[in-house]
Amino acid sequence: MEKLIAKIWSLFGLFTLLQNILPQHLHKILLDWLSSIKDYFNPPHYHLEIPEFKDSYGVNANDLYDIVERYLDGVDGLIRTRRLTVFRARKSTNLGFCPASDEVVEDSFRGVRVWWIHSALLEQRNGGGGGGGGGEGNGINERRRFTLKAQKPDRDFICAYFDYITNRAAELNTLNRDITLYTNAGHARWCEGWAGVPFKHPSTFASLALDPLLKSKILRDLDRFKKGREFYRRIGRSWKRGYLLHGPPGTGKSSLIAAIANYMRYDVYDLELTQVTDNTELRKLLTQTKEKSVIIIEDIDCSLNLAERVSNPPPGNREEQKRRGITLSGLLNFTDGLWSCCGEERIIVFTTNHKEMLDPALLRSGRMDMHIFLSFCNFQAFKTLAFNYLQVEDHPLFAGVEEKMNSGAEMTCAEIVEVLMNKVEEPSDALNDVICALDAKIKVKEVPPTSQQDV
């Protein structure tokens, strides 16, 4: 240790000697060299400030402040902060967290550590009023800001980091926002075409009684769509997706739509075609929908007679045009025409019990990209129902249920739920009733149809 101290003092002596004997132009080079050695062992930190407003009195909001606030809500380092500010937006049920004043949150990007400091300064605002400080404009002004502390950040690093922050904040906004269910109950011509209520449907893919392979296929497709902004721009197509849900009544089409909305955190627009007067109003309703939404038309085969391909009645026949209302051509333009490109990130869903009744033009790829057949309940879907309603993961009577289903018994999920609901507190009795109901379905199928001679 004594030898090390002696060497350090020798170096200091050498530097002092060099400063005294070196010419002035070499003196500056020596100081720069010493500064670079100091920076190597103790790198300097730079501070970038993001104020809440661009001026002192909150007139011009800085969007970047809100983005950073939302981003830090999802940073792992936030949980290690000693003091947090908790907030909740109006009409929202989700809590948000932000570091309190002077708290530090550590983050990293591309292997580089950075630190965020949130500060709030109180300033006396003097508006030039009368004596006693009671003039107009006097008071306390709070200036809040985030400060980013980083070691020698270059411009490319900062731009890439803030791009990442912006994208991540948008994802968190989508995950945490409340969903609204809209229906067309107003006058679209006066920009009042939709009325909304909070969407509280509890259906999720975890609770959905659906074949596991089909469920996995739908989830993969939704994930690809959610991340597809650049892909759709590259291929020159509008960022939308069409799903056709078809199958017998009671197979879970509405529950699947709710699960999709909850999974994607998209608003839901339930379009009632019978309430739309003509193609013009249909287009206006489309333009009033927001991005990140699911637009659904349930039982489309029952809503309108869409087999007619004539888009317009003969000229001059206004009464016929008024009676005809929405045409197939109008609906095709709604799903895949120029007006369908007025917004991004939309999913359009049609449901029907009779796919064969729909015009082929309505079903082609680009309009309905994925056809999802929801059939009768199979054994895997039944196990999900048994867990949801009876809290049973396995049971000796499961073998009897599986045997009946493999023998050709067909029941929809809705029918099985109705049986389970009668005895949710008695799992064995409920499962026995399901077996009996399935057995009755088999016996009905085995009865030969009545011939014309027997009538």
pLDDT in tens, 176-228: 778 899 998 766 555 567 888 889 899 999 999 999 999 999 999 999 998 88
Q: What are the tens digits of pLDDT across the range 255-266?
A: 999 999 999 999
Please give the pLDDT value at position 320: 46
Beta bridge partners of 104: 117
Specify the amino acid at residue 273.
Answer: L
Question: In Å, how far are 77, 325, 442 from 173, measured between CA atoms?
Answer: 19, 39, 50
Contact 303, 273 (CB under 8 A): yes
Specify the amino acid at residue 426.
Answer: E
Please give the pLDDT value at position 455: 34
Instruction: Judge whether residue 315 has pLDDT over 70.
Output: no
Residue closest to 333 by CA, chosen among 293, 298, 285: 285
Q: What are phi and psi of 392, to 5 degrees?
A: -120, 120
Element of type H or E holding 402? helix 398-406
Higher per-residue pLDDT: 33 or 107: 107
Tell which CATH architecture fits domain 180-373: 3-Layer(aba) Sandwich (3.40)
Please give the pLDDT value at position 28: 59
Please give the pLDDT value at position 405: 92
Band of the pLDDT at 431, cuts 50, 70, 90? very high
CA distance 239 to 247: 27
Please give the pLDDT value at position 364: 83
Q: What are the tens digits of pLDDT across the range 356-382?
A: 888 888 888 878 999 999 999 999 999
Please give the pLDDT value at position 12: 57
CA distance 56 to 140: 11
Please give the pLDDT value at position 135: 44
Sketch the domain layout of the chain as residue ranges: 45-125+138-176, 180-373, 379-446
Instruction: Judge whether residue 11 has pLDDT over 80.
Output: no
Mean pLDDT (the chain) is 78
Beta bridge partners of 84: 99
Element of type H or E holding 293? strand 293-297
Specify the amino acid at residue 47.
Answer: H
Q: Which residues of 43-79 are buried (b: 16+ CB within 10 A; e: fewer)?
A: eeeeeeebbbbeeeeeeeebebbebbbbbbbebeebe
Instruction: Judge whether residue 310 has pLDDT over 70.
Output: no
Higher per-residue pLDDT: 445 or 268: 268
Strands 45-51 and 103-109: unpaired
Band of the pLDDT at 453, cuts 50, 70, 90? very low
Question: In Å, how far are 58, 62, 101 from 104, measured between CA atoms?
Answer: 24, 21, 9
Q: What are the tens digits of pLDDT across the range 79-112?
A: 666 677 776 666 566 676 777 777 788 888 888 8
Contact 368, 244 (CB under 8 A): yes
CA distance 189 to 186: 9
Q: What are the tens digits of pLDDT across the range 233-287?
A: 888 888 889 999 999 998 999 999 999 999 999 999 999 888 888 888 888 888 8
Instruction: Judge whether residue 122 has pLDDT over 90.
Output: no
Please give the pLDDT value at position 55: 65
